[in-house]
Amino acid sequence: MTSSAYTVPYLPTGSVYGPAEMDALTRLLQSGAKLSCGPERDAFEQEFAAYAGVDHALSLTNATIALELATYLLDLQPGDEVIAATQTYQANVTPLLALPVKVRFCDIDPNSLNISPDALAGLVNDRTKAIYLVHHGGMPADMEPILKIAAENNLTIVEDCAHALGTKYHGRTPGTFGHLGCWSFQSYKNISTLGEGGMLTLSNPEWAERVGRVRSIEPDARFTSRAQLALGDYTLPADGIERHEKNSYAEDCVELRHPGTNSTLSEPAAAVGRVQLRNLDAFVARRRAIAERLDAGLKEIPGIRVQTREAGIESSHHLYTCFLDSSTGIDRDAFIKRLDEQGIHIQLRYFPIHLLPEWRQRGNGLGECPVAERIWFHEQINLPIYPQLEDWQVDFMVETVARTMGDFSR
């Protein structure tokens, strides 16, 4: 079925573009200003840092690059171990595939789908160096016990905040609990910078300075001053002409840690990101209203379980997840296929990473995270959610789930 044939399609855009974004682009393009490494990027970073409550925010081309640079900063060595969430997008741990480290995937809480603190505690040993966690679907991970475990074992926390724009955990924004926060502005996310974009947030000034160099294709290296400002018989002419010689005449490199990469966010993307950030609260408020309407209807259907949120927990509702009670004996795959056939575009998020072939090749496999496996293969349902949904479409989803449950229960 094509997307246009669905009564409730799963749109490839998670936010709304309007006249303000168009105006920002028009002003920038007509100004004649440079379109890379300019004031729009700097302003977007400052505004995002203020929003998140962090000292440093560095914009990047996507969240995968943010995770790669976060991993680089950890300086993991052969034999080190990392604990990671299993139910998230593969980019969360893709950088670790290139390193000779052991990744222990952590089982999940069956309500939030985030790392289970109890399971986490059982995986820590004297080789553990870091925790990679995600705030799945915008539901914040239970940070209080996770922080306690990390502090007791001197572990670095990398927060994957790709789903967490607009999330609050007891008044605080994700990305401020751990040491590094990785954000996404990809097309499906709660705000987007023209389809792709990311941010790395942190409070360590040394790390921020190093990332600032690396993303601008400068090496992260240690240099020493040269005795003479010359290269053999060649000296730098004092004519003011740009020659891209950088520090060639003045310094020697004695240690190269990272060669650098060109991964900064463009000016047009940043200009749109600034507008989107100002609209984030409205986008999330609409998502919250949709989620509450779905919750109210679905929780009345026997055999359907909705996610619960304790006091102080505010989800950004990047995803809407509910569950088919396995005690019904209904096959989940048959159930969601019927929903799809009746006009609800179903896409499930996310397949447990420890079962991907590249991770099975590294020794991971079935039985490693039994709760995640049970939820994924037997219970999890994702329904479309985005600000453009209309109330009648939300009601259609509730009515269709109820009707389908009735058909399977006969």
The residues near 289 (Cβ < 8 Å, ≥ 6 apart) are none
Cβ atoms within 10 A of the Cβ of 80, count? Answer: 16
| pLDDT score, position 410 | 75
Strands 198-202 and 56-60 turn out to be antiparallel
Question: Token pair for residue 373?
Answer: 């496996």
pLDDT of residue 409: 85
pLDDT tens-digit map of 180-209: 999 999 999 999 999 999 999 999 999 999
Structural contact between residues 261 and 61, judged by C-beta atoms closer than 8 angstroms: no
Give the span between the Cα atoms of 317 and 139, in whole angstroms: 7
pLDDT per position as a tens digit, 164-183: 999 999 999 999 999 999 99
Residues of the chain predicted below pLDDT 70: 1-3
Unique residue bearing structure tokens 């593969």? 90
Tally the C-alpha atoms within 13 A of residue 215's C-alpha that lie toward its C-beta: 30
- CA within 13 Å, CB half, 378: 14
Closest CA relative to residue 340, chosen from 405, 401, 409, 406? 401
Distance in angstroms (rounded) separating the CA atoms of residues 262 and 275? 25
Q: Which domains does the chain have, with CATH numbers?
A: 19-216+262-269 (3.40.640.10), 220-258 (no CATH), 281-409 (3.90.1150.10)
